[in-house]
Amino acid sequence: MTTLHPGAVFGHYRLDRILGEGGMGVVYDAFDTRLERQVALKMVHAHLADRQFIDMFIREGQTLAQIRSPHIIAIYDIGEQQGSPFIVTQFIKGGDLSGLVRSKGPLAPHLACLVNAQVAGALHDAHQVGIIHQDVKPSNVLVRNPASPLDPFAFLCDFGIATSSSDSPAGGITGTWNYLAPEYIRDERDAQGRPIMPEPSRDIYAAGCMLWFSLTGRIPYAGEAVQVAMAHQNAPIPQFVGTDEWTREANRILQLSMAKDRRNRYQSAAVFKDDLLKLREITAPAQIVPAPSMTDPNPLPILVAAVRAPSESEAILIEEAARPSKITPLRVGAAMVGVAALGVGGALAITQPWVEHGPEPIVPTVKGAAYADVNGDKFGDVVTNTQNPDGKGVDVVTWKSDGRTLTPSKAVTYDDPALPADNDGSEVFPLCADFTGDGKNSLITFVRSEKGFNFHGDLEGSLKAPAGVVEQGKKMAGSTFYYDLGTDDFDGDGVADLFMATTFGNPDPDLDRQGRTVGDGAIWVYRGTGSGFAEPTQFAAYPADTREQIVVGEFTGDEKADLVVLNRAAGEPEDKTLTTGTSELDLYQGDGATIAEAKSFSFKHKGISSIVAGDVDGDGRDEIVVGESGRGEGQTITVGTFSDDLAEFSIATRGKLPKPRNTLKTTSRYPVTLADVNGDGLTDVIAASQDTSDSPYTFYVALAAKEGSFQGHELATWKSSPEDVRRYNIMGGTIG
């Protein structure tokens, strides 16, 4: 096949421009017309693609596909078309680490630590699935946002000569001399005379060499190939001169990563990463001085661009000052180096040849469907349901996430004669879950009807209200009937079930307006069948007179839904919002059919405006997520976790949703829902709030993290938001 020109169509990819071209193939900036995203498409010339080359080409694609890591280039597609093998990968805007250091000089110590820690994390992710990279070097590390003083983002690429733990060892040298571990230069063999299997310590040695290069702009050992090989085996490990804390710790890390004996190196890239992140927090000296070596007996001191990592506010000022007036694609010298690698090292060794300013698309790393992912792109979405502007029914809008922002879809309007004329969305329930059992999410909207609900979307049909609710209603004469719909997997069969939570208001109108309920609350479950829902059965009943809020989630690790009831805090009975104090939290463990006796826990909190359930730390169990309101300071995110033996309930503050720019004098209360908006497998916290009482609502997110604080930022402005957004107007996955 001859080179295709920009504008050509290759399968379902539109080729927008050529990023680079060499003797072996072409790299395109392309657009995936199916998933609507920018990609890098790498195509090998058909006349050069013999069987051995195609095997190596496919092997790299398969290797990449085994790894789930935010810091490893993601593979989207691989195949052969019109005689040309091709691979489609994540598109990275930036440059490689080698070109960055050679053009800008050594990285500031805090940036070098961060970038190399990210690479170490990528190596750990690869090692966890038995993949050894074998060619870690600066030109195989792409850096997005390289000019950012706070958050450059590194990607490890080129797994063309990677091996897996299932491979048979082969003789010979693979890798790059300047970053090759001593044991492979020595061609060490086992007792049977076979070459030793590649180990994680080989990658760690190369990463240690790369750390030195990042900090100094120099390779650890210089000279001809033989001299470099001998130095890796016998020369002293590079060190810095000095006795300050940063220098001592940097030297220790270099000793542990570049030890000549692999048994003395870091045995885990994760420990290497942790040490680099700790070093990042230590203030560096104003200049770092490499110790003399055979190849450089009188090294010059290296002036440090910044002795510490900037604060967030300092970083914003630095980025604003450096931001160009317009976006300009700039071809850099590394372009043809990367493309030339198609014919030298690995089949896919491509260095990104364009430097462009602007955010790089986020690539989801979640396995399976992301929580609340409506459109199947592995990013969790948000769904809103509000009264149609013309007063005819309710508009349901899917706000699609790209990992960084939300974009609204065209509204779908639902109407039914049973809906009140002034319905504010509280009688319409768009729910996102795996209702069919195929591992993919479906969006189904449940709309109140005369006898129950009609449902629309990926499944269509109708449901009758539970007969038990009708009977209970007869006994609660004078009380208002209240209900919510939600979804969870109650029996652990992999198919989402529908549940209805019911309560009855207080016959006293004043107490009813305050949210006071009477009698028993109940949970009714419509079991999912994969094509619809079975007749409802009662799952749980609980005292409702002290109930403030309920949460359904899988808290105990058995993959079956449980019930949590948060009872009213001691305080003024007229205040229907949970006040600051200590409440009783009751956990009812579900067994698939009913619930066990309640286990009670104390919960000390501030005023609570929202309480939901989701897996924010990726451990496979849901946590309690609470939005605690505060005056003008934004909403605190508190996470509650049950111990494995269900004997304890612990809470931790994990961050804050941003406070309004024009700080409100009233208490900040946000309607909250959950969705994995950045596709990392952790359930994020999304809220809507106003800056002022007459401004449109804004969506905010607090991005979940396994450890540390949830980082918050703005997602989108809800320009056509209603005057008063309630919790039932904003939905993610199982929140109804």
> CA–CA distance from 631 to each of 175, 327, 399, 665, 720 (Å)?
58, 41, 29, 7, 26
The rounded distance, in Å, linking the Cα atoms of 494 and 498 is 13
Whole-number CA gyration radius for the chain? 29
The rounded distance, in Å, linking the Cα atoms of 60 and 160 is 5
**Alpha helix positions (H), 633-720:** none
* 481, two tokens: 């009937």
* 191, two tokens: 């007792």
Phi-psi map region of 368: left, alpha, beta (phi>0 left; psi -120 to 50 alpha)? left
Which is it for strands 163-164 and 131-132: parallel, antiparallel or unpaired?
antiparallel
Residue written as tokens 């421009």? 17
Residue written as tokens 């760690």? 204
> CA–CA distance from 209 to each of 182, 255, 485, 615 (Å)?
12, 11, 57, 38
The rounded distance, in Å, linking the Cα atoms of 468 and 445 is 23
* 727, two tokens: 């919790």
Cβ atoms < 10 Å from Cβ of 233: 13
- Please list the active-site residues: 135
- Within 8 A by CB and 6+ apart from 300, the residues are none
Measuring CA to CA, which residue among 635, 698, 669 is closest to residue 399? Answer: 698
The rounded distance, in Å, linking the Cα atoms of 285 and 279 is 12
**Three-point CA angle 557, 559, 565, nearest 5°:** 75
Describe the chain by its helix, strand, coil percentages, rounded to 5.
20, 35, 45
Measuring CA to CA, which residue among 429, 407, 427 is closest to residue 418? Answer: 427
* 161, two tokens: 């000569």
Taking a C-beta distance cutoff of 8 angstroms, is the pair 271, 249 a contact? no
Cβ atoms < 10 Å from Cβ of 388: 15
* 352, two tokens: 């990104």
Buried b (16+ CB within 10 A) or exposed e, 64-93: beebbbbbbbbbbbbeeeeebbbbbbbbbb
250 φ, ψ (degrees, to nearest 5)? -60, -40
Taking a C-beta distance cutoff of 8 angstroms, is the pair 398, 443 a contact? yes
The rounded distance, in Å, linking the Cα atoms of 315 and 147 is 11
Transcribe 209-235 into DSSP letters.
HHHHHHHHSS-SS-SSHHHHHHHHHHS
104 φ, ψ (degrees, to nearest 5)? -110, -10
The rounded distance, in Å, linking the Cα atoms of 226 and 218 is 18
The rounded distance, in Å, linking the Cα atoms of 284 and 182 is 30
| Adjacent-strand bridge partners of 713 | 701
* 269, two tokens: 């890239």
Transcribe 180-214 into DSSP letters.
--HHHHTT-B-TTSPBPPP-HHHHHHHHHHHHHHH
